[in-house]
Structure 1
Amino acid sequence: MHEGQLDVTPETVRELVDAQFPEWRSLAVRPVASPGTVNAIFRIGERFTARFPLQPQEVAAARRWLEREAAAARELLGRTRSPSPEPVAIGEPGGDYPLPWSVQTWLPGVIAADEDPGDSVAFAHDLAEFVRDVRAIDTRGRTFEGQGRGGELPAHDEWMETCFRHSETLLDVPLLRRTWAVLRELPRGDTPDRMTHGDLIPGNVLVAEGRLAGVLDVGGLGPADPALDLVGAWHLLESGPRRALRERLGCDDLEWERGRAWAFAQAMGVVWYYERTNPAMSRMGRRTLARITADPPSA
């Protein structure tokens, strides 16, 4: 999926686990099939999940991210009714793997990419509750750091132009350009940053019997535009449950449209970038864009 992507084999994981966590030598190691794009994921026994970053980077930078991810997971733990992973350990480079890696608790459930909850109003209510609970976490004076989604929409113009250029043969780019031209103008107003998960896509959400069973990839937890977590309305829900989520959260028009804008920007990126290397992610982006353009923003 990425240039220079690291290869992580079960044999390498077994070697690293045995050497660094000998108390787990008796536990089976097995890969987890996932549409995720950041980590290779392996189960260690029944209780733990090992996550190995796929993109080459400096060891110090990788360790800082894993430490930040663990801190975010601890901050979220127990703050929502829906469970989230608990950080367990950070492993060191070794054998054929050159970077630090992490261990978290395993959460039961099926990712929404495999068990679509899009028609479930009950799931929409669960998701709204999760968003509301995350927003209630104290920012402790922190504000958006200025990287990635969650600040000002026009800051993403250059990236969107890259996406439009790469999508010429894949999507109705003239329509999508017109859509972005409207969305990018949405004002932020004086709404303060609130805590957000930041990446509520199907691969990061667990489902059981049509209900929200857990939320994964919580390392991006942090202060941002509170509309950011509304991306889940477009990535995860059809029109009826989407309205139910909006009603449960009490979103005004501006907040709702900014959530649409953040979902649009994310979806535009994954369609072309993962078209050949991660078709599930690319299809997710196409579905999100179809939902957005079927219910266009007001000019």
Structure 2
Amino acid sequence: MPDLGPPPERLTVHVGQVRRLIGEQFPRWAGLPVRPVARVGWDNFTFHLGDTMVVRLPSAAEYALAVGKEQRWLPVLAPQLPLPVPVPLAHGRPGADYPFPWSVNPWLPGEPASTGRVSDPVPFALDLAGFVAALQKAGTEGGPRPGKHNWFRGATLRTYDAQARRALAALDGHLDVGPADGIWRTALAAPWDGVDVWFHGDLAPGNLLLGDDGKLAAVIDFGTCGIGDPSCDMAIAWTLLTADGRQAFRERLSVDEATWARGRGWALWKTLVTCARTVGRTDEEAANARRVLGEIFSG
């Protein structure tokens, strides 16, 4: 198993740096205002550039590994997909005391998905499944294999076995870990047929944008994309979709039992880690993790 090591050491980026980077490397945009986006992510710092673009700067060396991949593959994938994705407009280089490559992307409007914002859960699930199906049909020749660039999405779930086991141990006494242990063991034992397909790798609510009508409008953040086992993209069935939506999603994609079990495992791994980190807390993150765990236990 790969050594995942400690969490990356993140740096900080401020508006002045972004202005200098733009002025030095893309002077045609130097007069545009720069301001932070309202919702700050973890892997990247994102700033509005004018009204129609964003500057996206990795927060650590490990996250910077995805920049070249997105620059190379999003222009190839985008024409094959039924929803807008952030095809890069420019490829930045280190400068202005910022050490990593970075991107200028189009600003895709929309609000992050949530159960309360989705207008109709079953059509939403079907639209999302249609996007995943189209992505899986894209040609894989030369595509990026699982690795540090995407935290081994598309590889075996055993990569995260030690993390899951530590979380289960930490949660023992706070919840009934028996069902979680059984689901995890089933996921680890579920075989993959070895056929590479494209996956997004992080179909999280924050990367699914809704239009004003509450329908799926765009998919963003392809930093963990690659080719390999697509079961990691099934995790969204438990982290966001309703029970009816989950069934519609699975049927639209014709997901077999083994892939579904591995996808449930991907959802469980991350949820267990969050639950262990938020033991005793009552904030939104802790409540959402407990909600997702209930969805995972429900099937």
Using structure 1 for the length normalisation, give the TM-score. 0.84
For residues 8 and 168 of structure 1, the distance between their equivalents in structure 2, rounded to whole angstroms, comes to 39
Matched, 1:33 2:38: yes
Equivalent residue of 2:223, what SS? helix
For residues 188 and 146 of structure 2, the distance between their equivalents in structure 1, rounded to whole angstroms, comes to 20
The alignment covers a number of residue pairs equal to 287
Q: CA deviation at 1:228?
A: 2.4
Question: Where do 1:115-154 residues align within 5 Å?
Answer: 116-117=117-118, 120-140=121-141, 144-145=145-146, 148-154=152-158
Q: CA deviation at 1:179?
A: 2.7
Partner of 1:212: 216
Q: CA deviation at 1:219?
A: 3.0
- CA offsets, 1:56-86, max 9 Å, x none? x3xxx77653111211222221211111011
* Partners of 1:120 and 1:210 within 8 A in 2: no
Partner of 2:245: 241
Which residue, out of 8, 11, 14, partners 1:9? Answer: 14
Partner of 2:4: none
For residues 115 and 38 of structure 2, the distance between their equivalents in structure 1, rounded to whole angstroms, comes to 11
Question: Where do 1:188-267 residues align within 5 Å?
Answer: 188=192, 190-208=193-211, 209-267=213-271
- In structure 2, the CA distance between the partners of 1:200 and 1:227, relative to structure 1 (3 Å rule), is same
Matched, 1:54 2:59: yes
Cα RMSD (Å): 2.8
Which residues of structure 1 form unaligned runs of 5+?
none
Q: CA deviation at 1:234?
A: 1.5
One-letter identity of the residue aligned with 1:269: V
- In structure 2, the CA distance between the partners of 1:62 and 1:110, relative to structure 1 (3 Å rule), is closer
Which residue, out of 160, 166, 170, partners 1:162? Answer: 166
The percentage of counterpart residues that share the same residue type is: 36
* Partners of 1:62 and 1:99 within 8 A in 2: no
Partner of 2:291: 287
Equivalent residue of 2:89, what SS? strand
Equivalent residue of 2:203, what SS? coil
Q: CA deviation at 1:41?
A: 0.7
For residues 273 and 69 of structure 1, the distance between their equivalents in structure 2, rounded to whole angstroms, comes to 31
* Partners of 1:29 and 1:45 within 8 A in 2: yes
For residues 189 and 199 of structure 2, the distance between their equivalents in structure 1, rounded to whole angstroms, comes to 22
Partner of 1:87: 88
Q: CA deviation at 1:206?
A: 0.6
Equivalent residue of 1:41, what SS? strand
- CA offsets, 1:194-245, max 9 Å, x none? 1111110011111112211000011333212132211221222011111111
- In structure 2, the CA distance between the partners of 1:282 and 1:25, relative to structure 1 (3 Å rule), is farther
Which residues of structure 2 form unaligned runs of 5+?
1-6
One-letter identity of the residue aligned with 1:257: A
For residues 175 and 255 of structure 2, the distance between their equivalents in structure 1, rounded to whole angstroms, comes to 30
Question: Where do 1:13-24 residues align within 5 Å?
Answer: 13-24=18-29
For residues 129 and 42 of structure 1, the distance between their equivalents in structure 2, rounded to whole angstroms, comes to 30
- In structure 2, the CA distance between the partners of 1:151 and 1:95, relative to structure 1 (3 Å rule), is closer
One-letter identity of the residue aligned with 2:113: A
* Partners of 1:34 and 1:203 within 8 A in 2: no
